[in-house]
Amino acid sequence: MEFIQKKTADSTLERFLTKAAENELSLVWDRYEGQIPECGFCETGLSCRDCLQGPCISHPFRDSNKRGVCGKDKDILAAQSLLRLVLKGTMVYLDQLNDFAKGVESGEVKPKNKGKTDQILKEVQNLFKDGGIQTKKELPKNLIRRWEETGISPEGISRDLFKASQKLEGGVGDVEEMLLWSFKSSLLGSMAHWLHGNLKRSVFGDLIPTKVEVNLGALKKGVPNLLLYGSFSLILKCKIAAEAKKKGVYVTGVCSDPLIPPFSFPQVTNYGSQEIPILTGAVDLIVVGNQFVNPSLTKIAREWEIPVIPAEGLKREKNPSHFARQIVEKAKKSFEFRRNLPKEIPEVKEVAMMGFSRENVEAKKVLGALNKGQIKGIAILSGSNNVKFTQDQETVSMAQEFLKNNILCLSKGEASVALAKYGLLHPDLKEKYCDKAFSNTLSSLGKEIPSILDFGDGEIVNFLFDIAKAGKKELRDVPIVAVFPEAHRSSEVTEAMWTVAMGISTYFWPSLPVTGSQKTMEALTKFCYEKFGSRLNIFTEKKIDARAKANLVLKALKGEEGFGMSGKPWK
């Protein structure tokens, strides 16, 4: 039986784990332990309930290939398990873009750059209808050509998502065909993510690197604390921030955008410990989206008498300005009601420099440092937390090993918040994690550069394309890898797939539900390398030390033979 020996690497949280136990509150770690042992068929992708004749399973150990009622074998079951995750993840990015675009079109916000905004809104409509013909023109021609030759170039929602979803209903096809549909769907998500970042800049203004407070110490004493959880309308978040500023209400976030110009939102913790801020007693009101939000919040908040307001409920106030005023007023009333309740805010917090972009870090300087050997490679750190690992430990340990080996580390989203909690995004702490020579190299790239650079929505892709263009190379010819040390969301699976399609080899933990099919595992490495010059590396060993994982990636970056895929799913 599996069990978690240590729940989190963040010592700030330990007292609250004890507090939850004393109050008999079930947290995410407790619920995970209650689920063990997990279903082996589901974990390996060998189960299916796409119709009412099932559920069906296949056997990974047997030579005979047990088929589902409709005739699906274990290879198709595994490939479809991946497709199912990618479709769900792609919808996340499309929903975010559609929600934002509709809010802008309805006049809920006045764009900083109206001409550019109108142009992007047209591109959004084109993406949904035809797969983004104009958007593709802004991407490297050789990359688009490869996608078209492979048949995975986006063609719009009706072609990419509707058709891909029907592969789950039936029909014929092999593993490679199923994987190509997964890649095709993921690329639609990648373009939605990229356009979302562009629209954000045209509406709210360009991002500039900004210092953001991180960890529980970012909560304030003596004022109402309003906490934004998860992804929901950027416009509503800005309206809430503006109203809160007028009324003396302090706004922070969890799994939420840290920067929406002109506002910045301190991040009080990251995904794995999202229940903990409630236990401080200092939170007075919570506004939640759907993505990155655990349903458990409602029950725990009720124990501390904290109102929880869904930002996207069917019966919500439609006018964002009115809704924001209602939210802020409720936060003030809740603060008065809860004024005499005990509050326990730790003093621990870090400062993180967040929001870098191609405008703040010159690609030519990075390319020059790569050519001189001052930078040995580039690693993109992504993903959130997964309860199967000690929270933050994998992400932070791997990042530290990369920095010791002079690897330029870029991060985004929840991975950035995890790294920020340990000072890896603080400009003044570079020499704690880097030797003097590499610290000087980083400092030469721009102003107030930390050990690891956090990039905003879609900015990493722009930056990497600039590097490839400056070196007159394709991305697959540049020493770049993407690493998901603690992934868990379907949107992260989608991101991993589109990253591979762009020519960047990707390392993903934990293993995806494809390990019951050797053909699918092999296709994610050999077939992907033939098509894109990159691989999706999935590991079935569950107890690999984080430093050993980093060493596998470093070998690949240095051109040595890495771990890759053993070809033995049940090693």
- Tell me how far apart the alpha carbons of residues 475 and 467 are, in angstroms, rounded to a whole number: 8
Beta bridge partners of 214: 267, 350
Angstrom distances, CA of residue 417 to CA of 163, 213, 256, 414, 463:
37, 10, 10, 5, 20
DSSP code, position 13: G
DSSP code, position 331: H
Angstrom distances, CA of residue 114 to CA of 103, 238, 453:
14, 18, 30
Tens of each residue's pLDDT in the chain, 571 residues: 455 568 999 999 999 999 999 989 999 999 998 888 888 888 888 888 888 887 888 877 665 668 888 888 888 899 999 999 999 999 999 999 999 999 999 998 999 999 999 999 999 999 998 888 878 888 888 889 999 999 999 988 888 889 888 888 877 878 899 999 999 999 999 999 999 999 999 999 988 999 999 999 999 999 999 999 999 999 999 999 999 999 999 999 999 999 999 999 999 999 999 999 999 999 999 999 988 899 999 999 999 999 999 998 777 788 999 999 999 999 999 999 999 899 999 999 999 999 999 888 988 999 999 989 999 999 999 999 999 999 999 999 999 999 999 999 999 999 999 999 999 999 999 989 999 999 999 999 988 999 999 998 788 888 888 888 888 888 888 899 999 999 999 999 999 999 999 999 999 999 999 988 889 999 999 999 999 999 999 988 878 899 999 999 998 887 765 443 333 332 3
What's the pLDDT at 65?
Answer: 63
- Tell me how far apart the alpha carbons of residues 346 and 525 are, in angstroms, rounded to a whole number: 46
303 phi and psi angles, rounded to 5 deg: -65, -30
Distance separating the N- and C-terminal Cα atoms of the chain: 18
Q: Is the dihedral of CA 157, 163, 164, 168 positive or negative?
A: positive
What's the pLDDT at 561?
Answer: 52
132, amino acid identity: G
Rama region for 103: left / alpha / beta (φ>0; ψ in -120 to 50; rest): alpha
DSSP code, position 330: H
Beta-strand (E) ranges in 441-551? Answer: 452-454, 480-484, 505-508, 536-538
Beta bridge partners of 228: 253, 287
Domains and CATH numbers, the chain: 73-204 (1.20.1270.30), 216-337 (3.40.50.2030), 352-557 (3.40.50.2030)
- Tell me how far apart the alpha carbons of residues 449 and 458 are, in angstroms, rounded to a whole number: 19
Angstrom distances, CA of residue 83 to CA of 385, 512, 519:
22, 11, 15
- Tell me how far apart the alpha carbons of residues 497 and 86 are, in angstroms, rounded to a whole number: 8
CB 411 within 8 A of CB 400: no
What's the pLDDT at 563?
Answer: 40
Q: Exposed, middle or buried by CB within 10 Å (0-12, 13-18, 19+), for 304?
A: middle
CA dihedral (330, 332, 333, 338) in degrees, to 10, reads 120
DSSP code, position 221: S
Helix 234-247 to helix 74-105 angle, to the nearest 10 degrees? Answer: 50
Q: Token digits for 397?
A: 């340990």
- Tell me how far apart the alpha carbons of residues 525 and 532 are, in angstroms, rounded to a whole number: 10
- Tell me how far apart the alpha carbons of residues 360 and 492 are, in angstroms, rounded to a whole number: 26
- Tell me how far apart the alpha carbons of residues 549 and 544 are, in angstroms, rounded to a whole number: 7
CB 372 within 8 A of CB 519: no
